[in-house]
C-alpha cells in the first residue's frame, strides 16, 4: 500500500458552491480588482463626509466618518480631488494614488510629511497635478514603477517588465537570442506572476512565469497600454495566487474625459551600433535592425460615465547571430561544403510582433461599473540559429495569445465587490525551417568504436532541424473579490476563484531524421541516425488535459492603533489535472519494470510502485494551505520611521510541459541506430550495416518498432506535489524629507521543485560502480524491452538570504528631478545541477548537495535618474552593475568516456559579470494646433562595456584538457547603440 506523507484536505463541494453564491449575492461598491485598487484611509473629524473624485474620469466616491476615521477602497490609481464637509464647512486638496497602494492621509491635520508637496495646482480645473502619497505603513516589500519612469528612462525593447529591476532582488534577464525573462531571488523565472487589472497572466504549460514568455524577443503587453505597476517581492497578501517569487501588479490605461492620442516610432540599425567583439574578429558586421512603432487613442463615450482606450504596438527585429563550431574547431578545419554555407559566420534572425489592446469602461450611477478589456498578441520569429546551428537547421516559431476580461463591480455601503469573467487562448509552436534530412558533423576520435556514444558531440548542424511542437492553454475563469470595511479598524477581504483551462502539448522530436557524420571519417556515409516514430494505436506525441483550478482566501488588515498594523491572511488552492491523475501505465511497461531485478531492487532506492499508476491511485495535492502574516509599526505615528516584516507561504504550479512527457514520450518515440564500422556487430542491438536506402525517411521508418519497444520511458511519481516558497523578512522604512530609504533582511526557502532523475540501475541495483560516487552513470541500462527510464518527482530546493537596500527621491514636477538606487546582496544556494529540470548525474536530488545558485550574482546595483534640463529637455539614465554569477560546465575531463560526463560549477574570470550604462534625452514642442511633437535619443551601453553571454563551458575530453575552457564565445547585446524615437501626441 502506498503511504501518504501529507494530510489530505477534501473540500466540501456544497460549501464551495455556497461561498461562491454568497459572494455574488453581496452588494459592494465600485472597486478595481483587489490587487490593483488603491485605498485611502486616515483620521477625520467625527461628523465629516469625505468625497473623492477622479479628476480625469469623474469617478466619485463618498463615505461618512466612523469613530473619527474614514476608509475608501477600490480606487483606480490616479489623481483625486478630496473634499471634506464638516459642520457645513468644506475644504479641498488633491493627491495622487498609486496602483495597489494603501495610503494614510489624516484629513483633520496638515498633509503628512512623507508626501512631497508643492505640486498641487488649482483644484477646480480638470487637469490637476498632485503629490503622490508615499506608502510606508505596509508589510509588503514593494517598489512602485511610475508612468514617468516608464516614459522617461532609457529602454531598448519597450517591454514594461524591464523596469521591474528597479526593485531590489529582481533581475530582468535578456538571453543571447534576445529572449527576456524576469526572476527574483534564487528561484527561476517560473516563480513570478503578473497581474494585469487584477487578473493573473500565469503560464501553466511553458516556462517563463508569464504566458508567452518562454523564449521570445517579444513583449507580453503593449507598453503604451500600461499605466503603472508595483513589484512585490515579499509579504504579498492572501489574494495573490500562483506565485512563489515576485508578483507584478499592473493597471492598464483608461480613456478620460478628454480625447487624447499618441503615436511613436523608434529605430536602430546596423550602422547605429558598435560591432560585437566577435564581429570585429571576423572583420564584418551582421545586418541588424530594431524598429518599433505604435499608436494609442482614448477618450469619452459619455463624459464622466463611459470611456474607451485602444492601443497598437509593433516590433520588427533582425538580430545578429554568430556560428561557433563546437569542440573548439575553427572554420578552416571544417569540410569545404560546410565552410561555403558558413561564409563569414554572421547571420541575422528576424522577428515580428503585433500587439493590440482595447478597453471600454461604463459607470451606471455610483454603484454599477462594467469594464471590458481585450488583448491580442501575434509573433513570428526565427530561433535556434547561431552557435553550431546553420540557417537551414533553424526553427520558425509562432507565439500567439488572446485574453479577454469582463468585469462587473457593485457598490453598497461598506461592501466592495469585484467580479471577473475571463477567457484566455495562447499557442506556442516551433517548426523546422526546412524539411528533409538533418546533417550533423561530430567528432568521435576518442576511443572505443563499439560503444557508439560519441556521435552526440556536435561540431556543426545543418540540413533540416528537429523541433516540432504545439503547446498552449485555453479556457475560462471566474474570480470574485469582496471587501468589507464596516468593522472599525479592520479591512476584511475574501475571494473565490475557479478556472477551467485546457492545457495541451504536442512534441514530435526529432521531426526530421538527423544523420551524424564523423569529421575524421567518411563525409558521405553517416555513423549514426536519430529519428522520431509514432507508436501504433497510442497517439501522435500529443497530450491534452482539461484542468480545474479552485482558490479561496481570507485577509484581515487590522489597524490596532495609530502605530501598529497587523495583517492576517490565508489562502487555499487546488488543481485537478486529469492527464496526470487518470494516467494508466501501459501494461507492458509496468510488467517489465516489476520484473527488473536491477531497478526493482532494495539497493536501487527506487520504489517502482510509486511510479506505476492504475488510473485511480493518484490524488491531487489538496494540502496547499498558505498562511500569510505581516506587520508594520510606525515608531512615532507620523509615517517617518516604520519597522515592518512578515512571514508567509505561497504555492506555485507544476508546469504541464513536464507532466505531459509521461504521455507524449509513450506515443512518439526517439529511435537511434549506429552504422558499422562505428559499431562492431551489425544486426545486434542498435548496430546496422549502412544502406543508402536509409536516406529515404519511409525506408528508415521501417526500422522502428511500431509497439514502442526499446523506447525511452518517462514515469511520474504518484504523489507529485505543488512547489512552494516560505518567505521571511524584517525591515525598516524612513522618510527623510523628500528622500525615502528601505532596508530589509530577507530569507526565502523554496521547496518541492520538480525534477527528472535517471531511473536506470546496474544489475545489483546500484547507480554507480563500487567505490565511485559519480562515474560511470548507468546509461543504456534500462529495463527489459525498453531504453532509459526517466523518473519525475519533487525535490528541487533553493535558499536565498538577502540584504535589500533601496534609496529613492521620487520625481516631482516642482523639483524637476528624481533618483533611485536598488542594491541587493544575495547569498543563494540550490540543491540542483545547472538550474535545469533534468538532473541525471546522481541517483537522487539529495546526492547533489548544496551549491551556489547558478545565475545569481552576490552583488547587484541598479540606479536610475530623471532630470528636467533647460530648454524643456528631459535627461535620464540607468546603470546596472552585477558581480559574476556561477555557471555550469560539462566536465568530461575526469570521466573515462564521453558517456559519463557531468556538470561542474565555476565562475568566469572578471570582477564584474554585467555592467551597462544607458542615457536618454527627449524634447517636446507644442506646435500650437493641439499637436505636440516629440523627439528622443537613447544611447544604450554608453561605454560599450562587453558583457559576455556565453563561454566555452567544456572542461575537456577524457584525459584531454580543453585549452579554451572558460573563453568567452558570445556576448549580450546591446553593444553601444544609438536609438532615435519620434512621436506625436494630441
Is the pLDDT reported for residue 502 higher than 50?
yes
**Predicted local confidence at residue 835, as pLDDT:** 64
Q: How many residues does the chain have?
A: 986
Task: Characterize 824-848 residue by residue with b for buried, 16 or more Cβ atoms within 10 angstroms of its Cβ, and e for exposed.
Answer: bbbebbbbbbbbebebbbbbebebb
What's the mean per-residue pLDDT of the chain?
88
Structure confidence by residue, pLDDT tens digits, 557-608 = 999 999 999 999 999 999 999 999 999 999 999 999 999 999 999 999 999 9
Helix (H) or strand (E) holding 278: helix 277-282
- Residues 283-291 have a mean pLDDT of 86
> Are 527 and 521 a contacting pair, CB within 8 Å?
yes
- Residues 826-853 have a mean pLDDT of 87
Residue position matching grid coordinates 540540413: 463
% of the chain exceeding 70 in pLDDT: 92
> Are 508 and 532 a contacting pair, CB within 8 Å?
yes
> Are 470 and 504 a contacting pair, CB within 8 Å?
yes
Is the pLDDT reported for residue 225 higher than 80?
yes
**Predicted local confidence at residue 899, as pLDDT:** 64
- Cell numbers found for residue 916: 551597462
The whole-model pTM stands at: 0.88
What confidence category does residue 512 fall into, taking pLDDT thresholds of 50, 70 and 90?
A: very high
Residue 219: alpha-carbon gap to chain centroid: 12
What is the phi/psi pair of residue 102, to 5°? Answer: -115, 100
If one compares 320 and 938, the residue with the highest pLDDT of the two is: 938
3-state DSSP call for residue 900? helix
DSSP string, 696-757: SHHHHHTTS-TT-TT--EEEE-TT----EEEEEEEEEEEEETTEEEEEEEEEEEEEEEEEEE
- Residues 351-368 have a mean pLDDT of 92
- Residues 326-348 have a mean pLDDT of 89
User: CA of 815: how far to CAs of 95, 117, 668, in Å?
Assistant: 17, 10, 65
If one compares 575 and 96, the residue with the highest pLDDT of the two is: 575
**Predicted local confidence at residue 933, as pLDDT:** 95
If one compares 83 and 120, the residue with the highest pLDDT of the two is: 83
> Are 639 and 114 a contacting pair, CB within 8 Å?
yes
3-state DSSP call for residue 489? coil
**Predicted local confidence at residue 579, as pLDDT:** 94
3-state DSSP call for residue 162? helix
Structure confidence by residue, pLDDT tens digits, 97-122 = 888 888 888 887 544 433 344 444 44
**Predicted local confidence at residue 134, as pLDDT:** 79
User: CA of 611: how far to CAs of 589, 707, 737, in Å?
Assistant: 11, 21, 62
Structure confidence by residue, pLDDT tens digits, 875-906 = 999 999 999 998 888 888 877 776 677 778 88
What confidence category does residue 471 fall into, taking pLDDT thresholds of 50, 70 and 90?
A: very high
- Residues 454-483 have a mean pLDDT of 90
- Residues 613-637 have a mean pLDDT of 94
d(CA 792, CA 790): 7
> Are 821 and 137 a contacting pair, CB within 8 Å?
no
Residue 216: alpha-carbon gap to chain centroid: 11
Residue position matching grid coordinates 521570445: 216
**Predicted local confidence at residue 7, as pLDDT:** 35
For β-strands 789-809 and 713-716, DSSP reports them as: parallel
Structure confidence by residue, pLDDT tens digits, 660-674 = 999 999 888 888 899
802 contact partners, CB below 8 Å, separation of at least 6: 168, 169, 185, 744, 745, 746, 747, 748, 824, 825, 826, 827, 828
CA–CA–CA angle 421, 424, 429 (5° rounding): 175
What confidence category does residue 721 fall into, taking pLDDT thresholds of 50, 70 and 90?
A: very high
- Residues 639-646 have a mean pLDDT of 95
What confidence category does residue 87 fall into, taking pLDDT thresholds of 50, 70 and 90?
A: confident
What confidence category does residue 454 fall into, taking pLDDT thresholds of 50, 70 and 90?
A: low
Structure confidence by residue, pLDDT tens digits, 475-500 = 999 999 999 988 888 999 999 999 99
d(CA 855, CA 888): 9
Q: Please, what's the largest Cα pairwise distance for the chain? A: 102
164 contact partners, CB below 8 Å, separation of at least 6: 145, 170, 172, 182, 229, 231, 246, 248
> Are 437 and 507 a contacting pair, CB within 8 Å?
no
Amino acid at each position: 500500500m502506498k503511504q501518504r506523507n501529507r494530510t489530505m484536505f477534501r473540500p466540501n463541494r456544497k460549501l464551495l458552491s455556497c461561498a461562491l453564491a454568497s459572494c455574488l449575492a453581496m452588494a459592494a461598491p465600485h472597486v478595481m480588482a483587489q490587487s490593483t485598487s488603491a485605498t485611502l484611509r486616515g483620521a477625520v473629524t467625527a461628523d465629516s463626509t469625505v468625497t473623492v473624485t477622479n479628476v480625469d474620469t469623474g469617478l466619485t466616491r463618498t463615505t461618512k466618518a466612523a469613530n473619527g476615521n474614514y476608509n475608501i477602497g477600490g480606487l483606480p490609481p490616479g489623481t483625486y480631488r478630496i473634499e471634506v464637509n464638516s459642520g457645513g464647512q468644506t475644504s479641498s486638496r488633491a493627491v495622487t494614488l498609486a496602483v495597489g497602494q494603501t495610503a494614510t492621509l489624516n484629513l483633520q491635520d496638515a498633509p503628512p510629511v512623507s508626501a512631497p508637496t508643492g505640486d498641487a495646482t488649482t483644484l477646480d480645473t480638470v487637469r490637476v497635478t498632485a503629490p503622490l502619497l508615499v506608502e510606508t505603513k505596509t508589510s509588503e516589500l514593494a517598489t512602485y514603477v511610475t508612468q514617468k519612469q516608464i516614459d522617461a528612462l532609457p529602454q531598448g525593447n519597450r517591454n514594461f517588465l524591464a523596469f521591474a529591476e528597479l526593485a531590489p532582488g529582481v533581475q530582468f534577464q535578456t538571453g543571447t537570442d534576445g529572449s527576456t525573462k524576469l526572476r527574483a531571488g534564487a528561484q527561476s523565472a517560473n516563480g513570478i506572476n503578473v497581474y494585469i487589472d487584477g487578473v493573473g497572466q500565469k503560464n501553466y504549460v511553458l516556462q517563463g512565469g508569464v504566458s508567452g514568455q518562454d523564449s521570445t524577443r517579444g513583449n507580453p503587453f503593449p507598453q503604451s497600454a500600461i499605466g503603472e505597476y508595483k513589484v512585490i517581492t515579499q509579504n504579498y497578501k492572501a489574494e495573490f495566487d500562483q506565485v512563489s517569487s515576485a508578483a507584478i501588479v499592473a493597471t492598464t490605461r483608461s480613456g478620460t474625459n478628454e480625447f487624447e492620442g499618441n503615436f511613436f516610432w523608434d529605430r536602430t540599425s546596423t550602422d547605429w551600433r558598435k560591432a560585437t567583439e566577435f564581429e570585429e574578429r571576423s572583420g564584418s558586421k551582421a545586418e541588424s535592425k530594431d524598429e518599433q512603432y505604435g499608436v494609442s487613442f482614448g477618450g469619452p463615450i459619455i463624459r464622466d460615465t463611459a470611456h474607451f482606450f485602444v492601443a497598437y504596438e509593433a516590433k520588427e527585429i533582425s538580430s545578429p547571430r554568430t556560428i561557433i563550431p563546437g569542440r573548439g574547431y575553427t572554420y578552416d578545419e571544417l569540410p569545404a561544403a560546410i565552410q561555403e554555407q558558413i561564409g563569414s559566420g554572421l547571420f541575422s534572425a528576424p522577428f515580428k510582433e503585433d500587439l493590440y489592446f482595447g478597453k471600454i469602461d461604463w459607470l451606471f450611477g455610483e454603484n454599477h461599473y462594467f469594464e471590458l478589456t481585450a488583448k491580442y498578441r501575434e509573433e513570428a520569429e526565427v530561433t535556434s540559429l547561431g552557435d553550431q546551428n546553420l540557417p537551414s537547421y533553424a526553427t520558425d516559431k509562432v507565439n500567439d495569445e488572446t485574453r479577454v476580461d469582463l468585469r462587473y463591480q457593485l457598490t453598497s455601503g461598506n461592501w466592495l465587490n469585484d467580479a471577473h469573467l475571463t477567457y484566455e487562448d495562447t499557442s506556442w509552436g516551433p517548426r523546422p525551417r526546412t524539411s528533409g534530412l538533418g546533417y550533423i558533423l561530430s567528432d568521435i576520435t576518442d576511443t572505443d568504436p563499439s560503444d557508439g556514444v560519441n556521435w552526440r558531440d556536435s561540431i556543426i548542424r545543418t540540413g533540416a532541424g528537429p523541433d516540432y511542437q504545439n503547446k498552449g492553454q485555453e479556457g475560462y475563469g471566474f474570480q470574485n473579490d469582496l471587501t468589507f470595511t464596516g468593522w472599525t479598524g479592520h479591512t476584511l477581504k475574501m475571494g473565490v476563484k475557479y478556472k477551467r483551462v485546457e492545457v495541451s502539448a504536442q512534441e514530435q522530436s526529432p521531426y526530421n531524421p538527423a544523420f551524424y557524420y564523423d569529421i575524421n571519417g567518411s563525409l558521405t556515409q553517416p555513423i549514426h541516425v536519430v529519428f522520431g516514430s509514432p507508436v501504433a494505436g497510442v497517439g501522435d506525441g500529443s497530450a491534452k488535459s482539461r484542468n480545474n483550478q479552485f482558490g479561496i482566501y481570507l485577509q484581515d488588515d487590522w489597524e490596532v492603533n495609530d502605530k501598529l498594523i497587523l495583517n492576517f491572511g490565508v489562502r487555499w488552492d487546488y488543481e485537478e489535472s486529469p492527464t496526470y491523475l487518470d494516467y494508466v501505465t501501459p501494461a507492458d511497461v509496468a510488467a517489465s519494470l516489476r520484473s527488473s531485478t536491477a531497478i526493482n531492487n532494495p539497493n536501487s532506492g527506487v520504489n517502482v510502485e510509486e511510479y506505476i499508476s492504475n488510473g485511480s491511485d493518484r490524488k491531487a495535492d489538496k494540502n496547499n494551505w498558505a498562511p500569510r502574516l505581516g506587520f508594520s509599526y510606525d515608531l512615532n505615528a507620523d509615517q517617518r520611521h516604520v519597522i515592518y516584516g512578515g512571514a508567509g507561504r505561497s504555492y506555485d504550479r507544476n508546469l504541464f510541459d513536464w507532466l505531459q512527457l509521461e504521455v507524449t514520450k509513450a506515443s512518439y518515440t526517439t529511435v537511434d541506430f549506429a552504422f558499422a564500422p562505428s559499431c562492431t556487430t551489425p544486426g545486434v542491438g542498435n548496430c546496422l550495416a549502412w544502406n543508402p536506402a536509409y536516406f529515404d525517411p519511409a525506408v528508415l521508418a521501417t526500422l522502428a518498432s511500431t509497439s514502442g519497444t526499446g523506447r525511452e520511458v518517462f514515469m511520474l511519481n504518484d504523489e507529485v506535489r505543488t512547489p512552494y516558497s516560505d518567505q521571511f523578512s524584517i525591515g525598516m522604512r524612513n522618510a527623510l524629507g523628500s528622500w525615502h530609504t528601505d532596508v530589509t533582511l530577507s530569507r526565502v526557502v523554496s521547496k518541492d521543485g520538480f525534477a527528472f532523475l535517471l531511473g536506470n540501475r546496474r544489475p545489483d541495483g546500484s547507480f554507480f560502480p563500487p567505490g565511485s560516487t559519480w562515474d560511470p552513470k548507468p546509461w543504456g541500462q534500462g529495463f527489459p524491452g525498453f531504453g532509459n527510464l526517466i523518473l519525475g518527482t519533487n525535490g528541487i530546493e533553493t535558499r536565498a538570504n538577502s540584504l535589500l537596500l533601496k534609496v529613492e527621491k521620487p520625481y516631482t514636477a516642482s523639483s524637476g528631478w528624481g533618483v533611485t538606487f536598488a542594491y541587493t546582496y544575495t547569498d543563494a544556494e540550490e540543491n540542483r545541477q545547472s538550474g535545469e529540470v533534468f538532473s541525471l548525474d546522481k541517483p537522487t536530488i539529495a546526492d547533489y548537495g548544496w551549491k551556489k545558485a547558478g545565475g545569481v550574482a552576490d552583488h547587484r546595483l541598479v540606479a536610475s535618474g530623471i532630470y528636467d534640463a533647460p530648454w524643456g529637455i528631459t535627461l535620464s539614465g540607468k546603470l546596472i552593475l552585477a558581480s559574476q554569477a556561477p555557471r555550469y560546465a560539462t566536465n568530461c575531463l575526469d570521466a573515462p568516456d564521453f558517456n559519463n560526463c557531468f556538470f561542474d560549477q565555476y565562475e568566469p574570470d572578471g570582477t564584474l559579470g554585467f555592467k551597462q550604462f544607458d542615457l536618454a534625452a527627449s524634447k517636446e514642442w507644442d506646435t500650437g494646433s493641439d499637436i505636440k511633437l516629440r523627439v528622443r535619443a537613447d544611447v544604450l551601453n554608453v561605454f560599450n562595456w562587453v558583457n559576455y553571454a556565453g563561454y566555452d563551458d567544456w572542461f575537456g575530453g577524457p584525459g584531454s584538457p580543453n585549452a579554451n575552457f572558460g573563453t568567452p564565445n558570445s556576448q549580450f547585446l546591446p553593444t553601444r547603440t544609438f536609438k532615435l524615437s519620434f512621436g506625436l501626441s494630441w
